[in-house]
Structure 1
Amino acid sequence: MSLTERDQKVIWHPYTQMKNALPHIPVVRGEGVYLFDEDGKKYIDAVSSWWVNIHGHAHPHIAKKVAEQLSVLEHVIFAGFTHEPAVQLAERLLELLPGDQEKVFYTDNGSTSVEVALKMCLQYWSNTGHKGRTRIIAFKEAYHGDTFGAMSVSGRSIFTDPFKSMLFEVEFIDLPTEKNIEQLKSKINYLSNEVACFIFEPMVLGAGGMLMYEAEYLDQLIETCQKHGILTIADEVMTGFGRTGTYFACETLHSKPDIFCLSKGLTGGTMPLGVTTCNQKIFDAFLSDDKLKTLYHGHSFTANPVACAASLASLDILLSAETLPNIQRIKRKNEAFATQIKEHPKVRDVRQKGTILVLEWETGNDTSYLSSLRNQLYLYFLERGIILRPLGNTIYILPPYIISDEDLDYIYQTIQQALNDI
């Protein structure tokens, strides 16, 4: 049997209706921005394998550091023990993050980093004697993960529908604009004595449709929260490590969040790792002779040394002389293509932020995640050697930073061709 046939017998894939799923492409190796299947066909990984692979596949520097770490220490329990890769990674992240972040808590992925952030905030108020502050503010279109806490603070959708009776109540607000910002601030003021925290994806909402909004309005929401002591959580799982043009999206804010959630690009796409960082104020609320004020959360693979080594290697590349210029190069090319394509009659909307380019197809009223256009677009680009993963009628490009101008131009040309063909 082929690898695809063997897969069909034993694998249940994520976000996939298995009854009528398209055959899964058997990838046998990766190199740079390319993935190769078992027949030798080459694909441009234009979505960085679900937004994680920021430096390209099989990067030799990351591979070398991972191999070195595997021969020294593959894992150790992180309760009562520590190790050099975890300490060094925490030191380097805290230097790089905007604001006054002081402590790093390790988890396994983006969803669990959000779970920890929510628990930190809720227990912060409990530990400080304000047990009535339990409400959480989030955006209606948000996506923060698939565990129950992360689903609760995500917008209600087909992703969360089967579990809606089990999700805790959240105060959802619209994305801020010039027209509604004062109304949103008034709502926060009104609820302030009950609210524990405000969680947000800064400037770009990922799985909710790659929606974008302006930093100045997010700044005003954070300032309003801070005026009332409401804690703020920046979910930079997708936007972190250069995606929006700066190392972190929150660098463009005047007001800095209390907590950051990081994952995806953290290890350069090598393996799972999650991070939740916080400022000293939050950490201090857990320091007590009362053991009930402990943050009782952990994972078997917390701060895995190999994952930390991969992250350190990824940071080496991110901070090298080549990466920021590459990010700016991709940003400029995306801007130029967005300007070129925006007037096309089949383009409903085009959005761009840093290395992220988003295009909404004009499909009348069929704009849902399950839009009939989705599979048509997916297959169209696959046949032409480009991996895109449409969100309904929305396609987006999030390439590794090493992608060449030639490959970007080929993707743009194929999008133009698709607009004419579909």
Structure 2
Amino acid sequence: MSSLYKHLRVHQVFGANTDVGKTILTTALARTSARKKFPVFYLKPVSTGAVEDADDHHVVRFGRNSSNLIRSECLYRYDDPVSPHLAAIRKVSESGSTPTDSTLISAVANKIREYASKSPKPGHVYIETAGGVHSPVLSGTTQADCYRPLFLPTILVGDSKLGGISSTISSYESLLLRGYIVDTVVMFRDEYYRNWEYLSEYFKARGIHLSAVDPPPARNSNATEDRASTEEYYASLVASEEESSISRVIDYLDARHAVRHKELESMPQRSIDSIWWPFVQHGTVKGEQDVTVIDSAFGDFFSVYKQPKNTSSSSLLSPEFDGSASWWTQALGHANPTLTMAAARASGRYGHVMFPQATHLPALRLAERLIQKGPGKGWASRAFFSDNGSTGMEVAIKMALRAWSLRNGADLTKENKKKLGILGLKGSYHGDTIGAMDATEDGVYTCEWHDSKGYWFDPPTVGFQDGQLVISVPSSLSTSDTPHVSPAKSLGWVYDVGERLHTPLARAYTMHIRRVLDNLEKNGENKLAALVIEPLVMGAGGMIFVDPLFQRVLIDVVRGRRSTSSSQWSGLPIIFDEVFTGLQRIGVESAGPVLGVNPDISVHAKILTGGLIPLSITLASKSIFDAFWGDQKAVALLHGHSYTAHPIGCEVANETLAQIEKLTESDDWKASKAVWAEDDGQQGKAWSVWDPQFIKQVSKLPSVKEAMALGTVLAINFKDSSAGYTSFFAQNLLKPLKEVTGNAGELSLAPGGANYGINYRTLGNVGYFMTSLNTKSSIIRSIEDKIWKTISA
């Protein structure tokens, strides 16, 4: 990721267009830096055209009076005077290969690290791009996207020619949309078009410094005279009154560098003094070292500020893999430019608009997509929009309680209706709003107002223990015919619910569930009005991988084995809380096809918008919707949020779902499925991006009780006498994962590079890790190595 050194100021130079003077102005900056006695490093990542005209040679040639202080080099040079991507294509026919984006940015990052180690005192680095902001690099990716992982502060060279105002502003906005820090704009002072006058005011209003300098003399056909006049031009920039303009730019860039460092250095204590963190016991925060300062993020990695022991050669920023997918929201990596553009598109077209009895294309398309070909296909009739997973669950519970009350609550008093309960599973978590908490047992997440309403079964679970996949049933179910722990044939068999429906275990589950429900009814306790489950995996309760057969049998018993094709709910309305598990997080779009039954209501969030912005969708069947149908307003679902169906979130969700659809056919996914199919013998039933042999070996470690993985999720349940959410066992055991091995500045931006830490979260004695949906397999293998070395030590 990005590099930041206290003694080495690094700036990347972008141009608003080709032929705007990037090399001339960068040479002036380098020459002035050298004149101020700074060691100067100039880097041209990619160069095309004749060697004698190369930009890196130009910098050395006209910085010669200070050549002992200027080092200039180029990484990839092509003789063909065309766009880099075209030069690379033509060269491939000769060499057979083209450097990838990862190779290119790794090379740049390693050069920066090299410069930092070779500069014993404060120095300046200028990295000059080619052409305009969106000119392609060797792979064809535009420069603005390719170089973004480096996150280097930027100098934008403005366009002084006709049309230059537009191209300069457009270039600035392109950089801004990708998160670049644009420190200054430099350009020529063309007295005819006078673009600098307009742009000075434009950028001043945005807090950005702009400097204009006289343009160079016209090219002279006589090479000797041309070189002499060019040298005279550069000398005038340094020696004349114009020196103040370039010199002030240098001073300003140095000041910006110092401000960034000072701000990062001050953030930990300022945060301790002013922020109340969620899920954190502040009494355990001992000092600044316990605060993670995230300077930026890209792909699967954070750039985290850490004061190094040796500031002369170590980066102040260390890469950390986002091991929890940023609280389970990341789907396509941080700062994904496609999602950013989707957000900007909707923001520019709509901002936010009110939604009751209105519509707009992003919301309509999203609703239709989810109902017609998404998780609601074949059963859902309507999509209700809300803010986040917890509010989406509040909506779902309201829907279910109304539907049940209309059918079964005629004899109930208003007070009794307020006591209607939820049927669910122990370990459930549906959000932190009061209503969603009431649908769970008392626990660490609940508060003084919490009024637990319902009954929760202790569910059987699935996981690897000592290298063997097993099904563990609770003591309430355990008999001589149903042992507490029994081996499973394979992972695919466990998730082939249809095949298992006629097994003795299914019959045991059925008898147990019926017995419990009969007893509840006989005891006359509060009426149960809905079944609410987190299908397949219960997240916040401890990454509990529930035996899918139990959830299927539970639904069948509750519904009285209703035909799955029925359009009417029966028994109790069934709610699937797929906020965490849905939309491919665990390798399936929805649990319905796995369980073999559809819900009456389902809730989707988190992955829905790729981790960029909050949004939730509650899908409902027609029979649920009809419970609110009528000609009286009081009968309607009188529930909503100010930002209901906000266009930005809807547009981002549409883009996210489109990208996920492509990922399901990606080579990495196909390869992971093939590995599990070979290991398991049940192709397509269940799989994970995590390697099956790794999971099995982890489960054999003395400190591990159980390990399990589905899709992108890996959970390791550690042995701990004080097991539970309040345990610090996993947090302490995994602490070495945060440490960066090797030189932090290297990140080896090549996938799978070893020099990064892992930012992780735990659930008591359970350590869990999850990737984005597009995390490269090479990075996952590297993470597996780090986890293994840490917990097997």
State the TM-score bracket (shorter-chain normalisation): over 0.9
Which residue is equivalent to 2:683? none
SS at match of 2:761: coil
Q: 1:14 to 1:173 in 2, by over 3 A?
A: same
Q: 1:197 to 1:72 in 2, by over 3 A?
A: same
CA–CA separation in structure 1 for the residues paired with 2:728 and 2:400: 41
Structure 2 counterpart of 1:142, one-letter code: S
1:199-210 → structure 2 map (5 Å cutoff): 199-210=532-543
Bigger mean CA deviation after superposition, 316-325 or 39-48: 316-325
Q: 1:120 aligned to 399, 420, 428, which one?
A: 399
Given that 1:358 and 1:395 are in contact with CA atoms closer than 8 Å, whether structure 2 keeps it comes out as yes
Which residue is equivalent to 1:251? 593
Which residue is equivalent to 1:24? 291
Given that 1:327 and 1:355 are in contact with CA atoms closer than 8 Å, whether structure 2 keeps it comes out as no
Which runs of 5 or more structure 1 residues have no equivalent in the other structure?
A: none
Which residue is equivalent to 1:295? 637
Which residue is equivalent to 2:620? 278
Given that 2:441 and 2:452 are in contact with CA atoms closer than 8 Å, whether structure 1 keeps it comes out as no
Matched, 1:334 2:691: yes
**Once the two structures are aligned, what percentage of the paired residues are identical?**
31
Structure 2 counterpart of 1:34, one-letter code: F
| Root mean square deviation, CA, Å | 2.1
Q: 2:453 aligned to 147, 169, 186, which one?
A: 169
Deviations 1:121-140 (A, max 9, x none): 11123344625473310111
Structure 1 counterpart of 2:455, one-letter code: E
Matched, 1:194 2:527: yes
What's the TM-score, normalizing by structure 2?
Answer: 0.51
Matched, 1:15 2:348: no
Q: 1:327 to 1:16 in 2, by over 3 A?
A: farther
CA–CA separation in structure 1 for the residues paired with 2:517 and 2:623: 21
Which residue is equivalent to 2:432? 146
Which residue is equivalent to 1:44? 321
The runs of 4+ residues in structure 1 deviating greater than 6 Å are: none
Which residue is equivalent to 2:511? 182
Deviations 1:298-336 (A, max 9, x none): 000111100111111100110015566544555153323
Q: 2:732 aligned to 360, 376, 386, which one?
A: 376
CA–CA separation in structure 1 for the residues paired with 2:711 and 2:580: 12
Structure 1 counterpart of 2:626, one-letter code: D
Which runs of 5 or more structure 2 residues have no equivalent in the other structure?
A: 1-262, 306-315, 461-472, 474-504, 561-569, 673-687, 741-756
Q: 1:411 aligned to 773, 783, 788, which one?
A: 783
Which is bigger in relative contact order (C-alpha 8 A, separation at least 6)? 1
CA–CA separation in structure 2 for the residues paired with 1:274 and 1:120: 15
Deviations 1:272-304 (A, max 9, x none): 111111000000111112322111110001111
Q: 1:419 to 1:321 in 2, by over 3 A?
A: closer
Residue 386 of structure 1: how far off its partner (Å):
0.5
Given that 1:143 and 1:207 are in contact with CA atoms closer than 8 Å, whether structure 2 keeps it comes out as yes
Q: 1:408 to 1:57 in 2, by over 3 A?
A: same
Structure 2 counterpart of 1:350, one-letter code: A
CA–CA separation in structure 1 for the residues paired with 2:765 and 2:452: 30
Q: 1:12 to 1:329 in 2, by over 3 A?
A: farther
Given that 2:558 and 2:571 are in contact with CA atoms closer than 8 Å, whether structure 1 keeps it comes out as yes
Q: 1:181 to 1:62 in 2, by over 3 A?
A: same
Given that 1:245 and 1:327 are in contact with CA atoms closer than 8 Å, whether structure 2 keeps it comes out as no
Q: 1:168 to 1:213 in 2, by over 3 A?
A: closer
Which residue is equivalent to 1:101? 380
Given that 1:111 and 1:147 are in contact with CA atoms closer than 8 Å, whether structure 2 keeps it comes out as yes
Given that 1:128 and 1:285 are in contact with CA atoms closer than 8 Å, whether structure 2 keeps it comes out as no
Q: 1:146 to 1:324 in 2, by over 3 A?
A: farther
Structure 1 counterpart of 2:359, one-letter code: T
Bigger mean CA deviation after superposition, 13-22 or 121-130: 121-130
Structure 1 counterpart of 2:775, one-letter code: I
Bigger mean CA deviation after superposition, 111-120 or 333-342: 333-342
What's the TM-score, normalizing by structure 1?
Answer: 0.93
Q: 1:321 to 1:338 in 2, by over 3 A?
A: closer
Given that 1:389 and 1:396 are in contact with CA atoms closer than 8 Å, whether structure 2 keeps it comes out as yes
Structure 2 counterpart of 1:413, one-letter code: D
Matched, 1:91 2:463: no
Given that 1:317 and 1:323 are in contact with CA atoms closer than 8 Å, whether structure 2 keeps it comes out as no
CA–CA separation in structure 1 for the residues paired with 2:546 and 2:582: 16
Structure 2 counterpart of 1:271, one-letter code: I
CA–CA separation in structure 2 for the residues paired with 1:348 and 1:106: 40
CA–CA separation in structure 2 for the residues paired with 1:404 and 1:413: 15
CA–CA separation in structure 1 for the residues paired with 2:395 and 2:661: 27
Residue 24 of structure 1: how far off its partner (Å):
2.2
| Residues paired across the two proteins, number | 418
Bigger mean CA deviation after superposition, 187-196 or 251-260: 187-196
SS at match of 2:597: coil
Given that 1:110 and 1:274 are in contact with CA atoms closer than 8 Å, whether structure 2 keeps it comes out as yes
CA–CA separation in structure 1 for the residues paired with 2:553 and 2:320: 42
CA–CA separation in structure 1 for the residues paired with 2:707 and 2:778: 22
Structure 1 counterpart of 2:545, one-letter code: M
CA–CA separation in structure 1 for the residues paired with 2:669 and 2:537: 17
Which residue is equivalent to 1:306? 648
Residue 40 of structure 1: how far off its partner (Å):
1.8
Residue 251 of structure 1: how far off its partner (Å):
2.3
Given that 1:203 and 1:215 are in contact with CA atoms closer than 8 Å, whether structure 2 keeps it comes out as yes
Q: 1:63 aligned to 337, 340, 353, which one?
A: 340
Structure 2 counterpart of 1:104, one-letter code: A
Q: 1:61 to 1:323 in 2, by over 3 A?
A: farther
Bigger mean CA deviation after superposition, 242-251 or 105-114: 242-251
CA–CA separation in structure 1 for the residues paired with 2:365 and 2:700: 49
Q: 1:325 to 1:184 in 2, by over 3 A?
A: farther
